[in-house]
Structure 1
Amino acid sequence: MMKETLKISLAQYDIEWENPQLNLEFLDELLENHNSDLIVLPEMFTTGFSMNSKSISEPPFGSTYEWMKSIAERDNCAICGSIPTQVGEDFLNRFYFVTPDATTTYDKKHLFGYGKETQAYTAGNEIVNVEFRGWKFRLIVCYDLRFPVWCRNTDAYDALICVASWPIVRIEPWKALLKARAIENMAYTIGVNRLGTDDYDLKYDGNSKVFDPIGNENQLNSKKKFLIQTEISLETVKKYREHFRFLNDRDEFNLI
C-alpha cells in the first residue's frame, strides 16, 4: 500500500532503568489509539542506555520484538526502536523495524566509546535501508548521526530515522546534526530521544525532531504528554529534489 503522506508518532519518555516489563506496560497505555502509520521509539527503549549488556540483552526476535510485532499487526502500522540483543557471543545495539508483514534489523555501527559502549557491545558493519508504504528509510542509532559518510544518501532513502539516548549536555549538536543530515541528503530526518535521568546520572530532555529535505523543522503536535505526532510528505521530497537537484552533484565514494 503506497501512501504519499505518512503520519508518524514519536514516543519520548522517561525509560525505567533495565525494566522491560514496566516500560512495555507504559507503552501499551501510551500507544492506545495512536492512529499513525509509523511509531518511533528511543534507543534501548525498554532498558535505557545500559552497559550491562550481559544481563539485559534478549535473544534475536525475543519478547520485546514479539511485543513490537503485536502492535504492528494490531494497528496495521510500522514500529521501530533499538533493543540490546545477544547473537552468539556478541551483544548488539540492534534497531528493529517491524511491520505487519516483515521485520528488518540494523546493528549500530558507531559505538559510543566515550560512554564505554565499545566495551559492552559489538559494532555492526552494514548500512540498512527498508521500504514501507512506498517510502524508503535509512536506519541509524544515536552516535551514528555524527558520521555523515555513514548517513550519506545515494538516492537510497527518503527519510533517515535516528533513535537515540542523547543527553542534555550535548543537545545542541543533536539538533544541528539532525538538520544537517536532512539538508545534505535532501531527505527527512526523524530523531527520537528519551526523557528523564538514567542510572549514570545523565539527564535527557527529549527534543525529538523532524526536519524536511531543506532543513525546515516540522511542527509537532502532542497527542498525549509523551507522544508527539507529525506528517511527512513524499511529494515534498520529490518537489525539492526535482527543483534543486543537489544530489546530482554529490561526490562519489566507496566505504572501505
Structure 2
Amino acid sequence: MKVAAIQMVSGASLDSNLAQAHALLDQARHAGAELAVLPEYFCLMGRRDTDKLLIAEPPGLGTMQDFLSDTARELGMWIVGGTVPLATDDPQHAANASLVYDPQGRCVARYDKIHLFRFHDGQQGYDEAAVLKAGEQPVTFTLTDRSGTAWRVGLSVCYDLRFPELYRQLAADVLVVPAAFTHVTGQAHWEVLLRARAIENQAYVIASAQGGVHENGRQTWGQSMVIDPWGVVLAQQATGAGVVVAELDRARLEEVRRRLPALQHRRL
C-alpha cells in the first residue's frame, strides 16, 4: 500500500490552507497513495494561540470537516486530517482532534491529542493547555487497502511522540504522527523519537509535519518521513510544502516481527 505524508507551511488563512492541502492531497493521489496524512494544525497556524478557538467547529459540522469528507470522497482515498480544533463544553478550550475519513467520505475515527505540549527555553514558550483540552483515550482504526490487506492504524499527535506507553497500547501495524514540532525540539529529537517508535513497536510510522517559517514568525522543523518497522527511513522531505510517498509492505512487517519477535517477549 502506498502512503503519503503531507508536509505544509500553514498560515493564518483557513481558505488558503485548505486550498494548499487539497492540492497536496491531489498530488498524493496521482502518486498512487491510498492513505494520506496531513500535519497537525494543517488548517491554521494562527497569529495567536486563541485563534484556534475562533474556528473551532462542533463535531460533525463545519467547513474543515466538510473539506476532509468531500476531499476523501472526491479523491477516493483515506485521509487522516492532521488535527482540527473541535468545540468542547468549555468555550475557552478546544479539542485538538485528528479525524480519519474513508474513501466514501465517512468519518471513521476521532482521536483527541492526549499529551499537551509545554516548553520554555527562556526565549520562546508554548503551553497548549491554555487553549486545548486533553484527550483521554487511545484510538485505532482498521484500514483495508485495495489488495484486501487489513492494517491496524494507531493515531497520535506531535508531543505524544515522547510517551512510548501510548504506542504500546495502540499495538498497531502503522503509526501516524501529524505534528508541528518546533525547530529547536525537532532538530534535537524528531527523527530519533520517530525511529525509536518504529523499532520498538515493529511498525511503520507515517510522520507528517509543518515545515518552515510561518506568518506568525514561528519556525517548525519539518522533516516529514515514512519509516519501516526496522527503523529505516524510506522517504523524507526536509522543509517546505510537499508530499512524501512510500510503500508499506505487509510481508516486510511480518518478516521483521518473525525474525526478531520482541513483541512476543514482553514481560511488563
TM-score (norm 2): 0.84
Q: Percent identity?
A: 30
Aligned to 1:32: 26
Deviation, 1:113, is 2.4
1:221–1:229 contact (8 Å) kept in structure 2: no
> 1:91 matched to which residue of 2?
94
User: Which of 44, 63, 68 lines up with 1:47 in the alignment?
Assistant: 44
Cα offset, 1:206, TM superposition: 1.4
Task: Report the secondary structure of 2:45's partner residue.
Answer: coil
Unaligned regions of 5+ residues in structure 2, if any?
120-125, 145-149
Residue pair 2:11, 2:215 contacting (<8 A) in 1 also: no
SS in structure 2 at match of 1:251: coil
Q: CA deviation at 1:211?
A: 1.3
Aligned to 1:163: 178
| CA–CA distance in structure 2, aligned partners of residues 33 and 176 of structure 1 | 28
Shift of 1:231: 1.1
User: 2:147 is matched with which residue?
Assistant: none
Hey, what's the Cα distance between the residues in 1 that align with 2:25 and 2:139? 26
**Structure 1: stretches of 5+ with no match in the other structure:** 1-5
Residue of 16, 21, 35 corresponding to 2:11: 16
Instruction: Give the drift of 1:123.
Output: 0.4
Aligned with 1:136 (options 152, 155, 158):
152
Give every structure 1 segment of 4 or more consecutive aligned residues whose post-TM-superposition deviation is greater than 4 Å: none
Contact kept in structure 2, 1:14 and 1:196, CA below 8 Å: yes
Cα distance in 1 for residues equivalent to 2:9 and 2:260: 40
SS for the counterpart of 2:184 is helix
Root mean square deviation of aligned Cα: 2.1
Where 1:95 maps in the other structure, the secondary structure is: strand
More displaced 10-residue stretch of structure 1: 233-242 or 53-62: 53-62
Quick check: 31-40 or 76-85, which moved more?
31-40
Deviations 1:37-80 (A, max 9, x none): 01111001110276213213122122111111111112221111
8 Å CA contact 2:236–2:244 kept in 1: the answer is yes
Partner Cα separation in structure 2 for residue 151 and residue 230 of structure 1: 22
Q: What is the DSSP-based 3-state SS (H/G/I as helix, E as strand, rest coil) of the residue aligned with 1:43?
A: coil
TM-score by length of 1: 0.88
- Listed as ranges, the matches of 1:61-210 within 5 Å are 61=60, 62-80=62-80, 81-89=82-90, 90-101=93-104, 102-103=106-107, 104-114=109-119, 115-133=126-144, 134-152=150-168, 156-171=171-186, 172-198=188-214, 201-210=217-226
